[in-house]
Structure 1
Amino acid sequence: MEGSEIMSQTSETTEENKKDILKDFQTSFFTMSRLASFPWTFLENDLESNKSSELISDILKQTCLHSLCQKFPPSVRYRRLFLSELIRRQEAAGSDPLDELYDALTEVVAVAETTECYKSYLLPSGDAVSLLENVALISEGTTGLVTWEAALYLAEWALDHRQTFTGRKVLELGSGVGLTGVTVCRSCSPSRYVFSDCHPRVLQKLRDNVQLSGLTERTSPSVSVEELDWTDVTVERLKEIGGDTVIAADVVYDPDIIGSLVQLLSKILRCSSAEVVPEILICSTIRNPETYSSFKQQLENAGISHHVISGPVSKVFPYDRVSAIEMIKLYM
């Protein structure tokens, strides 16, 4: 192989690596991932090798200076920390100063912090699901104002198994801020999608995010947000809502609500017709094995069987994959 061909292939490989790195920075930035998870080593090596700030400039364009950040910005504190880290690494490498980097930090320092922020989850199509979430993990007495790991996993599973949702009426239990549902609506072509929750503050945030995503009763799919209290919902109400596919993510975490959840699932299965038995999928992060085992035992006591859905899932969103996540399908 001629030297020029080797140089050309090396250049192409480097350019591909750079594109991947920029994508990693962008994806992680808009989901407000831990700064330690960013591909800093590649940036450090680039700064050391040519002392140019070109890569940092490109990172800025894909993050803080991107149009998505102008419309749906991550938290003020997060952007400050991110820009400060870029500056620290640039100065440590002794590379050329970059005015727009300092300008971006000056601009964000002047902005007041709030209790809410946007997180944007980039889909394989290039589309983005932007949601308004609370900065705190637990706020106003509920955990439903942020996106949790099982919701992200279920959304990834849906992208790999679109046929489970295509042309079907979908009911989601405990929708939270709406990540899974908006992803399914954007990518899987259900005929109708019903988001549901019971906490008033969560319902309001959910409605805001559904509207933010441009989904309404008049769009395709037709979408609605319903208040659904597991403790007193009637069979008639469930029949009215309907659902060929029923899904839920991260709803098995509190021992005090497992009983009402199992009763609800039993009603859904028992009120279905012989011709249309809903496909029920529950995705859980197993934080407390005892609580999760209790859930499965109560399912069995109610005459509900399950099997674990296994197999690899495409990694679309950045999140902590250390915790055990399990998906089960329910049937009578």
Structure 2
Amino acid sequence: MEDAGTHDACSPDLLYLKSSFLAMEPADYFISLARQSDGGSITERVQTFILEHCINSIEDKGTACNLTYMKNILKKVITAAESTHDVVVEGLYEQLAYYLTSHMDDDLLIEKNRIYRQISFLCSSGHDDKCLNSMNLVVPLQCSLNMLEGDTGCALWPSSLFLSELILSYPMTFSNKFCFEVGSGVGLVGVILKHVGASKVILSDGDMSTLENMKLNLELNHLASETMASQRICENPNMVECKHLPWESASESELQTYHPDIVLGADIIYDPLYVPHLIRVLSVLLRPLKFCSSERKAGDLSCYRCTRTTEDMNGDNSPNEAKEAPNAYIAAVIRNMETFNYFLKLAAEASLSVLDVTATMKPKNLLPYMLSYDRSSVHLYQVSFSCI
């Protein structure tokens, strides 16, 4: 028989609280969730949960966690409880004193300016499932500690979270597809693509340090990384190819060899200097292998620009099985309208159609505990070659 304490710890609000802690959500958001867990104040029940299922459980499992964050959480929890005259659980004081007086540091994480976050995708509300069964997918990631210090490629951006939710919400769109991501950053989208069964995944980035961090994150998620295309990638279902791809110097002949089914990008429309190079890369990756014939029979509305065949893909004599034309899904927060309009202008000149599908391809809310993640700020665009 399940005791009351176990049942209490499995409540959705407390599951969200632990997920927030593992994701290293900002302390103020964590405290907000803690208040919501018990009617507006941080009661002894909530404090005990934080102590046992957040602070102590991290230590017991030896999970790397930024100690500055731990100390900040403890201070905030104690201050919030004291402000409402709630009794503070003694263990919280003891833990804070321990961290304040110890000479521990974050070892290599401090040197690398990195922290570990665990992003939990909750594929149910938690009301029907028991306890952590509701936590269907947990993705550990090494991320930048300070993304404003020239380390933006190792930061976790809202658009990357949005694309991940999208893939998990529409798994059949990406299952058994060759997916190519440009500007892959920490590699979260690649992990999710493998989770839903993408047949092949290539992650790319123009920064070598970001690429190395991405490979580490793949290893953390039990995926193997390969920097060069090889037969092993096809044979190993857990293999992901990591590609150094500076947009400005990417070879068109090399890009033409990939033929992905789907191209993805998160927060890649950010600098007007790079927009022309991005458009060129997208144009090559999305270019169909057959183009519209200048001569078509009357009434023939077929357009070879919109299809590919197995013969096109394999160069063999197999039957010409029609395949959908490649398209891209780009998630973006529009921070500079002038830059985005420039992207649209160059896309039109390159015969690329950019369609806002935010309203028609809404992802499920799989990150309900991430109060810092503003899903409404992200737009989703489908990019493909125009059919003329």
Shorter-chain TM-score tier: 0.7 to 0.9
1:162 Cα deviation after fit: 0.7
User: More deviation in 205-214 or 20-29?
Assistant: 20-29
1:60 Cα deviation after fit: 2.5
Question: For residue 103 of structure 1, what is the aligned residue in structure 2?
Answer: 94
Q: For 2:215, give the aligned amino acid.
A: R
Partner Cα distance (1:72, 1:219) in 2:
28
- Give aligned-pair identity as a percent: 22
Question: For residue 120 of structure 2, what is the aligned residue in structure 1?
Answer: 122
- 1:196-215 equivalent positions in 2, closer than 5 A: 196-215=204-223
**Does 2:141 match 1:131?**
yes
Partner Cα distance (2:382, 2:59) in 1:
36
1:128 Cα deviation after fit: 0.9
Question: For residue 224 of structure 1, what is the aligned residue in structure 2?
Answer: 241
Contact (CA 8 Å) 1:269, 1:331: kept in 2 or not?
Answer: yes
1:18 Cα deviation after fit: 7.7
Q: For 2:279, give the aligned amino acid.
A: V
Contact (CA 8 Å) 1:72, 1:119: kept in 2 or not?
Answer: no
Partner Cα distance (1:242, 1:102) in 2:
58
1:21 Cα deviation after fit: 1.8
Q: Which of 31, 50, 56 is the equivalent residue of 2:47?
A: 56
Deviations 1:120-174 (A, max 9, x none): 10023533101001110133x3411111011111111111111111011111110
68 and 150 in structure 1: CA distance in 2 versus 1, 3 angstrom threshold = farther
1:212 Cα deviation after fit: 1.4
Q: Which of 313, 316, 332 is the equivalent residue of 1:284?
A: 332
SS at match of 1:64: helix
Deviations 1:203-230 (A, max 9, x none): 1111111111111146424311111121
1:283 Cα deviation after fit: 1.0
Question: For residue 7 of structure 1, what is the aligned residue in structure 2?
Answer: none
TM-score by length of 2: 0.74
Q: Which of 81, 91, 102 is the equivalent residue of 2:82?
A: 91
Contact (CA 8 Å) 2:34, 2:46: kept in 1 or not?
Answer: no
TM-score by length of 1: 0.85
**Does 2:363 match 1:313?**
yes
Contact (CA 8 Å) 2:279, 2:346: kept in 1 or not?
Answer: yes
- Structure showing greater radius of gyration is 2
Contact (CA 8 Å) 1:46, 1:55: kept in 2 or not?
Answer: no
Partner Cα distance (1:162, 1:180) in 2:
13
Give unmatched runs, 5+ long, in structure 2: 124-134, 225-232, 291-307, 310-322
User: More deviation in 39-48 or 262-271?
Assistant: 39-48
Partner Cα distance (1:55, 1:204) in 2:
39
Contact (CA 8 Å) 2:9, 2:15: kept in 1 or not?
Answer: no
Partner Cα distance (2:95, 2:328) in 1:
47
Question: For residue 272 of structure 2, what is the aligned residue in structure 1?
Answer: 255
SS at match of 1:66: helix
Contact (CA 8 Å) 2:47, 2:88: kept in 1 or not?
Answer: no
- 1:129-168 equivalent positions in 2, closer than 5 A: 129-139=139-149, 141-168=150-177
Partner Cα distance (2:373, 2:88) in 1:
34
Partner Cα distance (1:205, 1:238) in 2:
23
User: More deviation in 25-34 or 90-99?
Assistant: 90-99
1:45 Cα deviation after fit: 4.3
SS at match of 2:25: coil
Contact (CA 8 Å) 1:235, 1:268: kept in 2 or not?
Answer: no
CA RMSD of aligned residues (A): 2.6
Q: Which of 75, 78, 87 is the equivalent residue of 2:69?
A: 78
**Which aligned segments of 4 or more residues in structure 1 are displaced greater than 6 angstroms?**
15-18
Partner Cα distance (1:291, 1:68) in 2:
45
Contact (CA 8 Å) 1:252, 1:295: kept in 2 or not?
Answer: yes
Question: For residue 230 of structure 2, what is the aligned residue in structure 1?
Answer: none
314 and 108 in structure 1: CA distance in 2 versus 1, 3 angstrom threshold = farther
**Does 2:357 match 1:304?**
no
SS at match of 2:11: helix
1:91 Cα deviation after fit: 3.4
Question: For residue 267 of structure 1, what is the aligned residue in structure 2?
Answer: 284
SS at match of 2:14: helix
Give unmatched runs, 5+ long, in structure 1: 1-11
User: More deviation in 269-278 or 29-38?
Assistant: 269-278
Contact (CA 8 Å) 1:283, 1:326: kept in 2 or not?
Answer: yes
Q: Which of 187, 202, 215 is the equivalent residue of 1:178?
A: 187
Deviations 1:84-112 (A, max 9, x none): 11222333445445343233323433332
Contact (CA 8 Å) 1:193, 1:221: kept in 2 or not?
Answer: no
SS at match of 1:295: helix
SS at match of 1:126: strand
Contact (CA 8 Å) 1:189, 1:221: kept in 2 or not?
Answer: no
Question: For residue 303 of structure 2, what is the aligned residue in structure 1?
Answer: none
Contact (CA 8 Å) 1:154, 1:180: kept in 2 or not?
Answer: yes
Partner Cα distance (2:98, 2:259) in 1:
49
Partner Cα distance (1:241, 1:30) in 2:
37
83 and 260 in structure 1: CA distance in 2 versus 1, 3 angstrom threshold = same
Partner Cα distance (1:150, 1:68) in 2:
31
